[in-house]
Amino acid sequence: MDDTEFERAKKLVEDFARILRGANDVEVGKLLLRTGSIDTLFQAILDPRKVKEYPTIGSFLLANKQRATALALMRHVITNNYSFKGSKSESGYVSPNHAQWFEDGVMLLEGKQPFEGFVGLFRNGEVKYAIAARDARAGEDLGPESFEFISLEDFNARLSAIPISADDLEKPVMELKHLLAIKESRESEYQGLLQKYPWILGAHYRAINNHSRLDDANIPDFTGVRVKDGYRDIFEIKQPFAKIFRKDLGFAAEFNEAWNQAERYINFAREEGDYLRRKGLLFDNPRCCLLIGFDLSDSEVKKIRAKEKLNPSIEVLTYNDVLAFAEETINLIKRIKAGDRASDSTQTEI
Protein backbone atom coordinates (compact mmCIF):
# COMPACT_ATOMS: atom_id res chain seq x y z
CA MET A 1 0.00 0.00 0.00
CA ASP A 2 1.56 3.30 -1.09
CA ASP A 3 0.90 6.68 0.53
CA THR A 4 -1.96 7.47 -1.84
CA GLU A 5 -3.76 4.22 -1.06
CA PHE A 6 -3.10 4.71 2.65
CA GLU A 7 -4.69 8.17 2.62
CA ARG A 8 -7.59 6.89 0.51
CA ALA A 9 -8.20 4.02 2.98
CA LYS A 10 -8.04 6.41 5.91
CA LYS A 11 -10.59 8.69 4.20
CA LEU A 12 -12.91 5.72 3.53
CA VAL A 13 -12.83 4.75 7.20
CA GLU A 14 -13.65 8.35 8.18
CA ASP A 15 -16.52 8.47 5.66
CA PHE A 16 -17.83 5.11 6.87
CA ALA A 17 -17.78 6.34 10.48
CA ARG A 18 -19.59 9.54 9.49
CA ILE A 19 -22.29 7.59 7.65
CA LEU A 20 -22.81 5.26 10.64
CA ARG A 21 -23.13 8.19 13.05
CA GLY A 22 -25.81 9.78 10.87
CA ALA A 23 -27.79 6.57 10.24
CA ASN A 24 -30.68 5.52 12.46
CA ASP A 25 -30.70 2.26 14.41
CA VAL A 26 -32.70 0.34 11.82
CA GLU A 27 -30.40 1.47 9.00
CA VAL A 28 -27.28 0.45 10.93
CA GLY A 29 -28.81 -2.97 11.60
CA LYS A 30 -29.70 -3.40 7.95
CA LEU A 31 -26.19 -2.46 6.83
CA LEU A 32 -24.11 -4.38 9.35
CA LEU A 33 -26.29 -7.32 10.37
CA ARG A 34 -28.25 -8.27 7.27
CA THR A 35 -25.69 -7.81 4.53
CA GLY A 36 -22.80 -9.69 6.10
CA SER A 37 -20.73 -6.51 6.23
CA ILE A 38 -19.33 -7.33 9.67
CA ASP A 39 -17.99 -10.68 8.46
CA THR A 40 -16.52 -9.00 5.41
CA LEU A 41 -14.79 -6.37 7.54
CA PHE A 42 -13.29 -8.75 10.07
CA GLN A 43 -12.15 -11.24 7.46
CA ALA A 44 -10.47 -8.38 5.61
CA ILE A 45 -8.52 -7.58 8.78
CA LEU A 46 -7.67 -11.21 9.56
CA ASP A 47 -9.11 -14.25 7.82
CA PRO A 48 -9.27 -17.15 10.35
CA ARG A 49 -9.58 -19.67 7.52
CA LYS A 50 -5.92 -19.05 6.63
CA VAL A 51 -4.65 -20.50 9.90
CA LYS A 52 -4.42 -23.93 8.22
CA GLU A 53 -1.79 -22.51 5.88
CA TYR A 54 0.65 -22.21 8.80
CA PRO A 55 2.40 -24.96 10.78
CA THR A 56 1.17 -23.62 14.14
CA ILE A 57 -1.36 -21.10 15.45
CA GLY A 58 1.53 -19.13 16.93
CA SER A 59 3.22 -18.80 13.55
CA PHE A 60 -0.09 -17.66 12.03
CA LEU A 61 -0.45 -14.94 14.69
CA LEU A 62 3.20 -13.91 14.35
CA ALA A 63 2.88 -13.52 10.58
CA ASN A 64 -0.26 -11.41 11.12
CA LYS A 65 0.80 -9.66 14.31
CA GLN A 66 -0.60 -6.21 13.55
CA ARG A 67 -3.85 -7.57 12.13
CA ALA A 68 -4.39 -9.82 15.15
CA THR A 69 -3.49 -7.02 17.55
CA ALA A 70 -6.00 -4.71 15.87
CA LEU A 71 -8.76 -7.27 16.43
CA ALA A 72 -7.70 -7.85 20.03
CA LEU A 73 -7.72 -4.08 20.64
CA MET A 74 -11.24 -3.85 19.19
CA ARG A 75 -12.39 -6.56 21.60
CA HIS A 76 -10.71 -4.75 24.48
CA VAL A 77 -12.38 -1.45 23.58
CA ILE A 78 -15.80 -3.11 23.19
CA THR A 79 -15.51 -4.97 26.50
CA ASN A 80 -14.45 -1.86 28.43
CA ASN A 81 -16.72 0.72 26.82
CA TYR A 82 -19.90 -1.09 25.79
CA SER A 83 -20.76 -3.05 28.90
CA PHE A 84 -22.52 -0.64 31.24
CA LYS A 85 -22.07 -0.51 35.00
CA GLY A 86 -25.15 -0.16 37.13
CA SER A 87 -25.69 3.02 39.10
CA LYS A 88 -25.40 1.22 42.46
CA SER A 89 -21.93 0.49 43.73
CA GLU A 90 -22.69 -3.22 44.15
CA SER A 91 -24.25 -3.54 40.72
CA GLY A 92 -22.86 -5.68 37.97
CA TYR A 93 -22.74 -4.99 34.24
CA VAL A 94 -25.37 -4.89 31.52
CA SER A 95 -24.04 -5.87 28.10
CA PRO A 96 -25.61 -6.30 24.66
CA ASN A 97 -26.21 -9.83 23.42
CA HIS A 98 -25.48 -11.01 19.88
CA ALA A 99 -28.74 -13.01 19.72
CA GLN A 100 -31.85 -10.86 19.20
CA TRP A 101 -35.03 -12.92 18.75
CA PHE A 102 -37.74 -10.40 19.60
CA GLU A 103 -38.87 -7.39 17.57
CA ASP A 104 -40.39 -5.63 20.60
CA GLY A 105 -37.58 -6.27 23.09
CA VAL A 106 -33.81 -6.42 23.45
CA MET A 107 -31.81 -9.40 24.70
CA LEU A 108 -28.91 -8.58 26.99
CA LEU A 109 -26.47 -10.06 29.47
CA GLU A 110 -26.37 -9.21 33.19
CA GLY A 111 -23.47 -10.27 35.37
CA LYS A 112 -20.54 -9.35 37.57
CA GLN A 113 -18.25 -9.25 34.55
CA PRO A 114 -18.74 -7.53 31.17
CA PHE A 115 -20.43 -9.66 28.52
CA GLU A 116 -21.14 -12.46 30.99
CA GLY A 117 -23.98 -13.61 33.21
CA PHE A 118 -27.72 -14.06 32.85
CA VAL A 119 -29.37 -13.90 29.46
CA GLY A 120 -32.12 -11.33 29.88
CA LEU A 121 -34.97 -10.00 27.77
CA PHE A 122 -35.94 -6.35 28.37
CA ARG A 123 -39.47 -5.84 27.09
CA ASN A 124 -42.47 -3.79 28.22
CA GLY A 125 -40.39 -2.05 30.87
CA GLU A 126 -39.19 -5.20 32.68
CA VAL A 127 -36.46 -7.79 32.45
CA LYS A 128 -37.15 -11.51 32.16
CA TYR A 129 -34.38 -14.07 32.45
CA ALA A 130 -33.80 -17.09 30.23
CA ILE A 131 -33.83 -20.64 31.58
CA ALA A 132 -33.12 -23.52 29.22
CA ALA A 133 -36.41 -25.28 28.56
CA ARG A 134 -34.89 -28.12 26.58
CA ASP A 135 -31.69 -30.08 26.37
CA ALA A 136 -29.36 -28.28 23.96
CA ARG A 137 -27.52 -30.56 21.55
CA ALA A 138 -24.13 -29.93 20.00
CA GLY A 139 -24.44 -27.93 16.80
CA GLU A 140 -28.11 -27.17 17.38
CA ASP A 141 -29.35 -23.71 16.44
CA LEU A 142 -30.92 -22.30 19.59
CA GLY A 143 -33.97 -20.08 19.41
CA PRO A 144 -36.66 -18.64 21.67
CA GLU A 145 -38.42 -22.01 21.83
CA SER A 146 -35.34 -23.42 23.58
CA PHE A 147 -35.82 -21.14 26.60
CA GLU A 148 -38.39 -19.95 29.09
CA PHE A 149 -38.23 -16.27 30.01
CA ILE A 150 -39.39 -15.46 33.51
CA SER A 151 -39.38 -12.24 35.50
CA LEU A 152 -37.43 -12.09 38.73
CA GLU A 153 -40.64 -11.12 40.52
CA ASP A 154 -42.41 -14.26 39.33
CA PHE A 155 -39.37 -16.37 40.08
CA ASN A 156 -39.00 -15.01 43.62
CA ALA A 157 -42.72 -15.50 44.23
CA ARG A 158 -42.26 -19.23 43.86
CA LEU A 159 -38.96 -19.61 45.71
CA SER A 160 -40.93 -20.30 48.90
CA ALA A 161 -42.10 -23.55 47.29
CA ILE A 162 -38.58 -24.53 46.28
CA PRO A 163 -36.06 -25.85 48.81
CA ILE A 164 -33.33 -23.23 48.82
CA SER A 165 -30.56 -24.87 50.82
CA ALA A 166 -27.70 -25.95 48.59
CA ASP A 167 -28.17 -29.61 49.51
CA ASP A 168 -31.93 -29.66 48.98
CA LEU A 169 -31.66 -27.89 45.66
CA GLU A 170 -29.69 -30.76 44.19
CA LYS A 171 -32.02 -33.49 45.50
CA PRO A 172 -34.50 -33.66 42.61
CA VAL A 173 -31.71 -33.84 40.04
CA MET A 174 -29.86 -36.50 42.02
CA GLU A 175 -33.01 -38.57 42.52
CA LEU A 176 -34.01 -38.31 38.87
CA LYS A 177 -30.52 -39.25 37.71
CA HIS A 178 -30.62 -42.27 40.05
CA LEU A 179 -33.93 -43.48 38.60
CA LEU A 180 -32.56 -43.08 35.10
CA ALA A 181 -29.29 -44.84 35.98
CA ILE A 182 -31.09 -47.93 37.33
CA LYS A 183 -33.49 -47.78 34.34
CA GLU A 184 -36.55 -47.62 36.56
CA SER A 185 -39.56 -48.33 34.35
CA ARG A 186 -42.45 -47.67 36.75
CA GLU A 187 -44.25 -44.46 35.83
CA SER A 188 -45.36 -44.05 39.44
CA GLU A 189 -41.75 -43.48 40.55
CA TYR A 190 -41.36 -40.53 38.18
CA GLN A 191 -44.81 -39.18 38.95
CA GLY A 192 -43.99 -39.31 42.65
CA LEU A 193 -40.73 -37.46 42.13
CA LEU A 194 -42.43 -34.73 40.09
CA GLN A 195 -45.21 -34.46 42.64
CA LYS A 196 -42.55 -33.94 45.32
CA TYR A 197 -40.61 -31.38 43.26
CA PRO A 198 -43.21 -29.88 40.88
CA TRP A 199 -41.09 -26.78 40.16
CA ILE A 200 -38.81 -28.77 37.84
CA LEU A 201 -41.69 -29.09 35.36
CA GLY A 202 -41.78 -25.45 34.45
CA ALA A 203 -40.80 -22.01 35.68
CA HIS A 204 -43.96 -20.40 34.35
CA TYR A 205 -46.28 -22.45 36.59
CA ARG A 206 -47.14 -21.18 40.05
CA ALA A 207 -48.77 -24.48 41.09
CA ILE A 208 -48.87 -28.02 39.76
CA ASN A 209 -51.60 -30.40 40.92
CA ASN A 210 -51.58 -34.16 40.48
CA HIS A 211 -54.47 -36.19 39.06
CA SER A 212 -56.77 -33.25 38.28
CA ARG A 213 -59.76 -35.27 37.12
CA LEU A 214 -61.41 -33.71 34.07
CA ASP A 215 -64.10 -36.38 34.11
CA ASP A 216 -64.26 -40.11 34.80
CA ALA A 217 -62.57 -40.93 31.49
CA ASN A 218 -60.02 -38.12 31.33
CA ILE A 219 -57.59 -38.02 34.25
CA PRO A 220 -54.22 -36.48 33.32
CA ASP A 221 -51.28 -36.98 35.65
CA PHE A 222 -50.87 -33.26 36.45
CA THR A 223 -52.28 -29.88 35.58
CA GLY A 224 -50.23 -26.73 36.03
CA VAL A 225 -51.56 -23.25 36.84
CA ARG A 226 -49.84 -20.69 34.62
CA VAL A 227 -48.25 -17.66 36.27
CA LYS A 228 -49.25 -15.25 33.53
CA ASP A 229 -53.03 -15.76 33.57
CA GLY A 230 -54.09 -18.38 36.16
CA TYR A 231 -55.31 -20.86 33.56
CA ARG A 232 -54.16 -24.47 33.41
CA ASP A 233 -52.05 -26.63 31.13
CA ILE A 234 -51.92 -30.43 31.17
CA PHE A 235 -49.00 -32.77 31.91
CA GLU A 236 -48.95 -36.45 31.00
CA ILE A 237 -46.00 -38.39 32.43
CA LYS A 238 -44.71 -41.58 30.82
CA GLN A 239 -41.69 -43.54 31.89
CA PRO A 240 -38.47 -42.54 30.09
CA PHE A 241 -37.84 -45.94 28.54
CA ALA A 242 -41.22 -46.26 26.87
CA LYS A 243 -40.92 -47.38 23.28
CA ILE A 244 -41.16 -44.36 21.01
CA PHE A 245 -39.86 -45.68 17.67
CA ARG A 246 -40.06 -48.84 15.65
CA LYS A 247 -36.96 -50.17 13.92
CA ASP A 248 -37.90 -48.28 10.75
CA LEU A 249 -38.03 -45.01 12.78
CA GLY A 250 -41.80 -44.86 12.55
CA PHE A 251 -43.59 -44.08 15.80
CA ALA A 252 -44.30 -47.10 17.96
CA ALA A 253 -47.79 -47.94 19.20
CA GLU A 254 -46.83 -46.94 22.77
CA PHE A 255 -45.91 -43.42 21.69
CA ASN A 256 -48.96 -43.06 19.44
CA GLU A 257 -51.19 -44.10 22.34
CA ALA A 258 -49.59 -41.47 24.59
CA TRP A 259 -49.92 -38.81 21.87
CA ASN A 260 -53.59 -39.69 21.28
CA GLN A 261 -54.19 -39.50 25.03
CA ALA A 262 -52.69 -35.99 25.09
CA GLU A 263 -54.89 -34.93 22.17
CA ARG A 264 -57.97 -36.31 23.94
CA TYR A 265 -57.22 -34.30 27.07
CA ILE A 266 -56.64 -31.12 25.06
CA ASN A 267 -59.85 -31.52 23.07
CA PHE A 268 -61.89 -32.22 26.20
CA ALA A 269 -60.46 -29.18 28.00
CA ARG A 270 -61.36 -26.98 25.03
CA GLU A 271 -64.82 -28.36 24.37
CA GLU A 272 -65.96 -28.68 27.99
CA GLY A 273 -64.62 -25.39 29.31
CA ASP A 274 -67.87 -24.39 31.07
CA TYR A 275 -68.20 -27.78 32.74
CA LEU A 276 -64.59 -27.67 33.94
CA ARG A 277 -64.96 -24.07 35.15
CA ARG A 278 -67.82 -25.15 37.41
CA LYS A 279 -65.43 -27.74 38.86
CA GLY A 280 -62.88 -25.01 39.56
CA LEU A 281 -60.58 -26.02 36.68
CA LEU A 282 -59.92 -23.07 34.39
CA PHE A 283 -58.65 -23.74 30.88
CA ASP A 284 -58.05 -21.22 28.12
CA ASN A 285 -56.07 -22.26 25.04
CA PRO A 286 -54.49 -25.12 27.02
CA ARG A 287 -51.33 -26.98 26.09
CA CYS A 288 -50.35 -30.52 26.97
CA CYS A 289 -46.79 -31.43 27.89
CA LEU A 290 -46.03 -35.10 27.18
CA LEU A 291 -42.97 -36.24 29.13
CA ILE A 292 -41.45 -39.34 27.56
CA GLY A 293 -38.10 -40.67 26.34
CA PHE A 294 -34.45 -40.44 27.36
CA ASP A 295 -31.15 -40.17 25.48
CA LEU A 296 -32.77 -40.06 22.06
CA SER A 297 -30.66 -39.66 18.95
CA ASP A 298 -30.62 -36.41 16.97
CA SER A 299 -32.68 -38.01 14.20
CA GLU A 300 -35.26 -39.23 16.72
CA VAL A 301 -35.54 -35.77 18.29
CA LYS A 302 -36.06 -34.26 14.83
CA LYS A 303 -38.87 -36.73 14.15
CA ILE A 304 -40.56 -35.71 17.40
CA ARG A 305 -40.19 -32.00 16.63
CA ALA A 306 -41.79 -32.61 13.22
CA LYS A 307 -44.64 -34.44 14.97
CA GLU A 308 -45.16 -31.48 17.31
CA LYS A 309 -45.80 -29.22 14.31
CA LEU A 310 -48.90 -31.29 13.51
CA ASN A 311 -50.45 -30.15 16.78
CA PRO A 312 -48.74 -27.08 18.32
CA SER A 313 -50.81 -27.57 21.50
CA ILE A 314 -48.73 -30.63 22.40
CA GLU A 315 -45.12 -30.30 23.53
CA VAL A 316 -42.99 -33.42 23.89
CA LEU A 317 -40.28 -33.18 26.53
CA THR A 318 -37.69 -35.86 27.17
CA TYR A 319 -36.17 -36.57 30.55
CA ASN A 320 -32.99 -34.94 29.24
CA ASP A 321 -35.04 -31.76 28.81
CA VAL A 322 -36.31 -31.95 32.40
CA LEU A 323 -32.76 -32.43 33.72
CA ALA A 324 -31.52 -29.48 31.68
CA PHE A 325 -34.33 -27.26 32.93
CA ALA A 326 -33.87 -28.32 36.57
CA GLU A 327 -30.12 -27.73 36.48
CA GLU A 328 -30.55 -24.33 34.82
CA THR A 329 -33.15 -23.33 37.42
CA ILE A 330 -30.86 -24.39 40.27
CA ASN A 331 -28.02 -22.42 38.70
CA LEU A 332 -30.25 -19.34 38.44
CA ILE A 333 -31.27 -19.62 42.11
CA LYS A 334 -27.67 -19.94 43.24
CA ARG A 335 -26.53 -17.00 41.15
CA ILE A 336 -29.38 -14.81 42.37
CA LYS A 337 -28.52 -15.68 45.98
CA ALA A 338 -24.88 -14.86 45.22
CA GLY A 339 -25.91 -11.47 43.84
CA ASP A 340 -24.64 -12.24 40.34
CA ARG A 341 -26.86 -9.82 38.48
CA ALA A 342 -26.91 -6.12 37.76
CA SER A 343 -29.33 -5.06 40.53
CA ASP A 344 -32.00 -3.39 38.39
CA SER A 345 -29.36 -1.53 36.41
CA THR A 346 -31.40 -2.14 33.26
CA GLN A 347 -33.99 0.23 34.71
CA THR A 348 -31.76 2.80 36.42
CA GLU A 349 -29.51 5.48 35.05
CA ILE A 350 -26.03 4.35 34.05
In the predicted model, is pLDDT for residue 89 greater than 60? no
Question: Is domain 163-317 annotated with CATH 3.40.91?
Answer: yes
Greater pLDDT, 69 or 118:
69
Per-residue pLDDT reduced to its tens digit, 228-285:
788 999 999 999 999 999 988 899 999 999 999 999 999 999 999 899 999 989 999 9
- Record the pTM: 0.67
97-125: average pLDDT: 89
Per-residue pLDDT reduced to its tens digit, 3-61:
888 899 899 989 989 999 999 998 888 888 888 788 888 999 999 999 999 999 999 99
Domain locations in the chain? Answer: 3-81, 85-156, 163-317
* Dist CA 92 CA 117 (whole Å): 9
Closest CA to 276 of 227, 315, 232: 232
| Cα 34 off chain centre by | 24
